Chain A
Amino acid sequence: MDIQTLTFIIVGLTFAVYIGIAIWSRAGSTHDFYVASGGVNPVANGMATAADWMSAASFISMAGLISFMGYDGAVYLMGWTGGYVLLALCLAPYLRKFGKFTVPAFIGDRYYSNTARTVAVICAVFVCFTYVAGQMRGVGVVFSRFLEVDITAGVIIGMAIVFFYAVLGGMKGITYTQVAQYCVLICAYLVPAIFISIMMTGHVIPQIGFGAELNDGSGTYLLDKLDGLSTELGFAEYTSGTKSTIDVFFITAALMVGTAGLPHVIVRFFTVPKVRDARKSAGWALLFIALLYTTAPAIATFARVNMIDTINGPEAQGTAYEEAPSWISNWESTGLISWEDKNGDGKMFYSGDERNEMNIDRDIMVLANPEIADLPAWVIALVAAGGIAAALSTSAGLLLVISTSISHDLLKRNLMPNISDKQELMYARIASGVAVCIAGYLGINPPGFVAQVVAFAFGLAASSFFPAIILGIFSKRMNKEGAIAGMVSGISFTAAYIIYFKFINPAGNIPENWWFGISPEGIGTLGMLLNFAVAITVARFTADAPRDVQAMVADIRFPKGAGAASAH
């Protein structure tokens, strides 16, 4: 069977499973729809959180990025896992005890202010939309490469599937579909990694394999070979990287804190029955995430070595274009690889200096990896299904946050307090339906800035939500004046810095012009510190939070008496 038929079969099977689960877990009330009745087992919840969290970017792009960045890729690895420690220790148990559906609900109630609630709704919707557009795009790319339909058709198929189970099942449907999607995506990620690890080093476990000796009998370590290749070809040494220490520090911190402030991750901890389960669930989530995140740097290393070897040939003199392996021509047709014969010798050559003749998009590394390593066709089909699972699971989680924020925090709590549970559920479904369509539109016609903005969503979440939530839990006296002033100054500072360097003066986006050498990707950390400073200062000069709010804060600090998450 050829790759395309196999891909159709495997992707089709996974779709059938997702739809089956959606029908089985149809939501009957807002309680089902928003938090799956708070009845999800912590292990299943951990798996769903992991699938929710690991987007098309984690699955498709991250290993590729690391492959091209070397050591510097650690900012993503540590940044996107370290945030779970903050979540488990500082946020999840307290927010679960607080027992509301959404992040804006916490901000609104804790700071006894509808202004704060509305600010939080706007931040949440903005963060989620920038994110979801990137996911739909990921679905489109996978469809167009492996099923040879065009990107528009791919996005529409993806939209239809998400629409079906997100609108019908709400959080309940999404949670159980995500469990299935996690299984698909992790298999799709691990299987090729294990294959390649065995082929290159003889080790079954890729995490060990990429630090082991090559099994070509030379006795050199894989990473040493890569360091050698990199410097020979005019790249930076793979294990050293090129970013300044302060920049690596600030980007890592922004990603960590941003993770802990992302509304679609936080909402996950409202779906478990107990405070104890919320803590446990964060641990399970990180375990499931770590499986992929510790494999990614191994894939990055294998892919890099394989790619350089196949393009430059065993003697590092280049290979003739006519003899190029099929993956090069396959990906050339998508425009993600191109070759320009600069020296006219008819051979391809890849390097980091003027000898370079190849232009390779980083996003293809994971998808092309099994083809580069010449793995069986079913592995390639599995990787396609995994990429789609990663994109769909994250989009569904994001769409739910958008629809809850609008139907619950904006309509029910702000504009139309008298609607019934049934009407609210209807509005939630309409909101997620509209959100799917907007997301699909953005996926088909991506505004040029989407890819850039996704990374900045973390900086914005770090500089707005995180300090407000932390202060709301750990300081009883923190008042609404402080919190609002902090959020507004944190997010405007961060947004201004990003907009200046990315949109107003992109030519000036070089280390010499950055404040303290901090790139726009890392500026969220500074914004967060500013938020804390402003909030604490303003709170000192204004009245303390009212007594009943202080009593509520005292109450969320211990687990006993946590009921199911509720609307009021």
Chain B
Amino acid sequence: MSFESEQHAEDYWKENLRMMLTLLSIWFAVSFGCGILFVDELNAIRLGGFKLGFWFAQQGAIYVFLALIVVYVVKMNKLDRKYNVHEDHEEPEEFEEALEEEFTH
């Protein structure tokens, strides 16, 4: 187990799931919500030459998808660091160990 405790492992997974579900609900809302289910209502609103529902279905949803992945990548990297389960080579504890060794010799 790479986590410091069982509790940590559980908390990490819970935070991960919460974030995933939040982002997926936005994913659902823009594509299936704005682009399909409420498209007629949104089409009453105009965005330049676009009807808004049509714009979401053929443009907007794709931009939001992209933003969701960017947010996920940034947040997950933070979460990995918080629980110290990231995969960098210069991991802090290894670095400290190396320092310690340096000093004891």
Contact = CB atoms under 8 A, between A and B. Distances in A.
B85 A78 contact: no
Interface string A78-103: 10011011001110010000000000
Interface string B41-68: 0010001111100110111011101101
Contacts of B70: 283
Contacts of B80: 276, 558-560
A211 B50 contact: yes
A71 B87 contact: no
A249 B37 contact: yes
Interface string A196-229: 0000000000010011110000000111100000
**For chain B, what secondary structure do more than half of its interface residues adopt (helix, strand, loop), or is it mixed?**
helix
Contact of B35 (A74, A89, A557, A562): A74
Contact of A74 (B47, B51, B57, B86): B57
Interface string B1-45: 111000001001100100010011001000110011101000100
Contact of B20 (A90, A207, A248): A90
Interface residues of A, number: 51
B95 to A, nearest CB: 15
Interface string A541-563: 00000000000001001111110
A81 B72 CA distance: 16
A553 to B, nearest CB: 11
A78 B49 contact: no
B69 A286 contact: yes
Interface in B64-105: 65-66, 68-70, 72-73, 76-77, 80, 83-87
A351 to B, nearest CB: 23
Name which of A207, A560, A562 has the most chain B CB atoms within 10 A of its CB: A560
A279 B73 contact: yes
B20 A239 contact: no
Contacts of B49: 210-213, 221-224
A78 B3 contact: no
A6 B1 CA distance: 61
Interface of A: 66, 71, 73-74, 77-78, 81-82, 84-85, 88-90, 93, 207, 210-213, 221-224, 239-240, 245, 248-249, 252-253, 256, 274-276, 279-280, 282-283, 286-287, 290, 293-294, 297, 554, 557-562
Interface of B: 1-3, 9, 12-13, 16, 20, 23-24, 27, 31-32, 35-37, 39, 43, 47-51, 54-55, 57-59, 61-63, 65-66, 68-70, 72-73, 76-77, 80, 83-87
9 contacts: A71-B54, A77-B57, A84-B69, A89-B68, A210-B49, A211-B49, A276-B76, A279-B69, A557-B16
